[in-house]
Amino acid sequence: MKHRIRLPAFVACIGTAVATLQACGGGSDAPSAPSATFDCAALASAALGTHVKVTRSTRIEADTTRPTDPFTGAPVGEFLPAHCVVQGQINARTGRAFSADPVTRAVSVVDAPYAIGFELRLPKDWNGRFFFQGGGGLDGVLTPAFGIFDPQQGAATNALSRGFAVVSTDGGHRGTSAFDGNFGADQQARLDYAYNAIDQVTLTAKDVLQRYYGKSPDRSYFVGCSNGGRQAMIMSQRFPSYFDGIVAGDPGFDFMNAVSNTLADVKTLAAIVPAGQATPLGPDLGKAYSPADRALIGSAIVAKCDVKGRDNARDGIVSDPQACDFDPQADIPPCTGANDGSCLSVAQKTALAAMTAGGKTSSGAALYSDYFYDAGVGSPAWSVWKLDGIPVPLSPTLTLSLGLNQLAGLDGPGKVFSTPANPVFDPFGFDPDADPARFREFGRLADASSIDLSSFKARGGKLMIYNGNSDPLFSSKSIARYYQSLAAAHGGSAADFARLFLVPGMGHCSGGPATDGFDPLTAVQAWVEQGVAPDSLLAKAGPLTPWPGRTRPLCAFPKVAVYKGSGNLEDAANFTCQ
């Protein structure tokens, strides 16, 4: 069985907002065409203030360029329209950075250049709308501002091709990849990553729009997934007047507690790695469960929970995960001899149950959240974050796991998240009683867990959140609890300004046995510009799922997709939200 793997930290997914909006967007009720001269060169000398420097201003003719896949570099999607590409820097300065000796791995602190980098693409035929494309991982790279929002990269029209002006940012620093935390030696760089860069880039981009088109945007949207989803929620909580519509995908809103949880999982997995299966830096987590073990986990969950609660269709999708009563010890055959892929050891089942229940302190207190048992658990979209990882520059053959810094170059826990910074942090030595407090100190800057969205709501803002039920990093149970708390804080319901969509089978932002291809942008625009709130999103399964082309409705929480009892199981038309 194949499951498409995507690293969602780099994908975007949509924002929403309000129909009556002189508030956030700053413009008339209906978007109007600008009167731009398509003079890209003039932007290079625009007077944007002494703190802003334009480093590139290039004219791109229509039908000459296509977006590129961020992982393969291959062209995807349709050709782009005529537009200007503007790149620049805000608040350039010299700061401090960690530097490691490639041989001894001894860490020192050195001088390093910093600036908040941005890329802004300005279509010749502007639709009057502004689209901020959120970042991913630890940022540190300037992703092309195409406005890709569909989890299936290139499967739907990007925002730039729809006429949006699109901006992206590197988060205030540059690194070897989005897993490079050497900027953590510099406090201002930490602040830029936490929240300041998205603030400064928004203000600068809107200034450029005003100067270039002669008007402010009629509507403004923020779109992001993973760290970009965290940024999206930061916007709704700390900068409520900036955007009319915000969509936060698989958001790391309770970021630092999730980091602690993942480090607890590192220790849980390390304990069951067979003897002798190690990397130069520690146990090889990829050996904790074989590919056959992982497939067995997913199939066992489906066998137990495919038809549970409101889910009345045996279709390989756990539509109602809250009704799933899966128990690894009881529902997966125990190994009585060698593990041949048809069973799990008691230790493997205990570890799976522990990870799903969430990490704990030595006294049993929860570090973060529990998780759903879902069809995508064990799939490549799940194991890529827990077990096998992907090649990255700092350690191309080792394991990637959020928080597993030295093993894959994701330097966050020691270099960025820990206060004070600990650049030689050992993930296998994680202390669940002491380290979480060091992370939570940074969480005071970077987390986005406030339920006070009264200013955003009062200005007419709309918030859409989505999360994969098989996301091994950021729990759907956690975001559901956040949404319920948000509703309680706003009179018992938040549906008039905020909606949550849980995606069965989907991993972190995309992938897994899921209908993860959806177009929230159209739905968001309808909510923002016609006042039509999204009760469901039409979603499609990708080519590497068990059922390519299958469609399903993604239902606004707490509803789930329920089969009507007749008709083709592959067609969303035969399902309703209940």
3-class SS string, 357-425? HCCECCCCCECCCCCCCCCCCCCHHHHHHHCCCCCCCCCCCCCCCCCCHHHHCCCHHHHHHCCCCCCCC
- Of the listed ranges 30-34, 173-177, 185-189, 340-344, the one predicted with least confidence: 30-34
**pLDDT for residue 71:** 62
What tokens were used for 382?
């799940």
What's the rounded mean pLDDT across residues 74-80? 84
For residue 501, the cross-strand partners are 466, 556
Across the chain, mean pLDDT equals: 88
Residue 460 — very low, low, confident or very high, per pLDDT cuts 50/70/90?
A: very high
- Of the listed ranges 52-61, 315-324, 385-394, the one predicted with least confidence: 385-394
What's the rounded mean pLDDT across residues 167-187? 93
Packing angle between helix 435-446 and helix 255-270, nearest 10 degrees? Answer: 150
Give the integer Cα–Cα distance in Å for 141 and 367.
30
Give the integer Cα–Cα distance in Å for 21 and 539.
29
Q: What is the pLDDT of residues 24-41, one digit of tens each?
A: 444 444 445 444 678 998
Q: Percent of the chain, pLDDT > 70? A: 88
Residue 5 — very low, low, confident or very high, per pLDDT cuts 50/70/90?
A: very low
Which position has the higher pLDDT, 35 or 518? Answer: 518
**pLDDT for residue 412:** 85
Query: Half-sphere exposure of 62 toward its Cβ, with a 13 Å CA cutoff?
Result: 8
Give the integer Cα–Cα distance in Å for 221 and 462.
10
- Of the listed ranges 34-38, 107-111, 172-176, 283-287, the one predicted with least confidence: 34-38
**pLDDT for residue 60:** 95
At residue 67, what is the residue type? P
Give the integer Cα–Cα distance in Å for 269 and 267.
5
What's the rounded mean pLDDT across residues 438-446? 97
What tokens were used for 197?
């860069």
- Of the listed ranges 433-437, 515-519, 554-558, the one predicted with least confidence: 515-519
Q: What is the pLDDT of residues 188-225, one digit of tens each?
A: 999 999 999 999 999 999 999 999 999 999 999 999 99
What tokens were used for 264?
């607890």
Packing angle between helix 227-238 and helix 197-213, nearest 10 degrees? Answer: 80
- What is the reported pTM? 0.91
Judged against a pLDDT cut of 90, whether residue 406 lies above it is answered with no
Hey, which of 12-16, 404-408, 412-416 has the most confident mean pLDDT? 412-416
Q: Percent of the chain, pLDDT > 90? A: 72
Query: Going by DSSP bridges, is the β-strand pair 561-563/517-518 parallel, antiparallel, or unpaired?
Result: unpaired
**pLDDT for residue 229:** 96
CA distances from 342 to 333, 338, 444, 546 (A): 7, 10, 46, 20
For 569, the 3-state DSSP assignment is coil
CA distances from 260 to 155, 295, 330 (A): 35, 27, 29
∠ CA 476-288-505, nearest 5°, is: 30
Q: What is the pLDDT of residues 277-331, one digit of tens each?
A: 877 677 888 889 999 999 999 999 999 999 999 999 999 999 999 999 999 999 9
**pLDDT for residue 179:** 82
What tokens were used for 68?
């590129």
Query: Going by DSSP bridges, is the β-strand pair 165-169/129-133 parallel, antiparallel, or unpaired?
Result: parallel
Name every residue whose Cβ is closer than 8 Å to that of residue 440 and which is 6 or more positions away in sequence: 256, 257
Residue with tokens 């083709």: 568
For the annotated catalytic residues, the residue numbers are: 226, 471, 508
Give the integer Cα–Cα distance in Å for 44 and 38.
13
Q: What is the pLDDT of residues 530-546, one digit of tens each?
A: 999 999 999 999 999 99
User: With the C-alpha atoms ordered 544, 550, 554, 555, is the resulting torsion angle positive or negative?
Assistant: negative
What's the rounded mean pLDDT across residues 138-154? 80
Check if the beta carbon of residue 11 is closer than 8 Å to that of residue 225.
yes
CA torsion, ordered 224, 227, 232, 237, to nearest 10 deg: 170
Query: Going by DSSP bridges, is the β-strand pair 498-503/462-468 parallel, antiparallel, or unpaired?
Result: parallel
Judged against a pLDDT cut of 80, whether residue 54 lies above it is answered with yes
Concatenated DSSP letters for 252-274? -TTHHHHHHHHHHHHHHHHTTSP
What's the rounded mean pLDDT across residues 160-187? 94
**pLDDT for residue 156:** 57
The phi-psi region of residue 416 (left if phi > 0; otherwise alpha if psi is between -120 and 50; otherwise beta) is alpha
Hey, which of 45-49, 176-180, 496-500 has the most confident mean pLDDT? 496-500
Burial group, residue 340, by CB count within 10 angstroms (0-12, 13-18, 19+): exposed
Judged against a pLDDT cut of 80, whether residue 150 lies above it is answered with no
Q: What are the start-end ranges of the E strands in 52-106?
A: 52-60, 83-100
Which position has the higher pLDDT, 94 or 150? Answer: 94
- Of the listed ranges 27-36, 212-221, 369-378, 405-414, the one predicted with least confidence: 27-36
Omega before 31 cis (within 30°)?
A: no
**pLDDT for residue 155:** 44
**pLDDT for residue 18:** 23
State which H helix or E strand residue 251 sits in: none
Which position has the higher pLDDT, 173 or 526? Answer: 173
Q: What is the pLDDT of residues 214-270, one digit of tens each?
A: 999 999 999 999 999 999 999 999 999 999 999 999 999 999 999 999 999 989 999
Judged against a pLDDT cut of 80, whether residue 152 lies above it is answered with no
- Of the listed ranges 62-76, 172-186, 198-212, 385-399, the one predicted with least confidence: 385-399
Check if the beta carbon of residue 143 is closer than 8 Å to that of residue 135.
yes
What's the rounded mean pLDDT across residues 129-139? 95
Residue 6 — very low, low, confident or very high, per pLDDT cuts 50/70/90?
A: very low
- Taking 3-state DSSP, the helix, strand and coil percentages for the chain, each rounded to the nearest 5, stand at 30, 20, 50
**pLDDT for residue 151:** 57
Judged against a pLDDT cut of 60, whether residue 8 lies above it is answered with no
Residue 394 — very low, low, confident or very high, per pLDDT cuts 50/70/90?
A: very low
Residue 157 — very low, low, confident or very high, per pLDDT cuts 50/70/90?
A: confident
At residue 147, what is the residue type? G
What tokens were used for 469?
């039920």
What tokens were used for 79?
């050709």
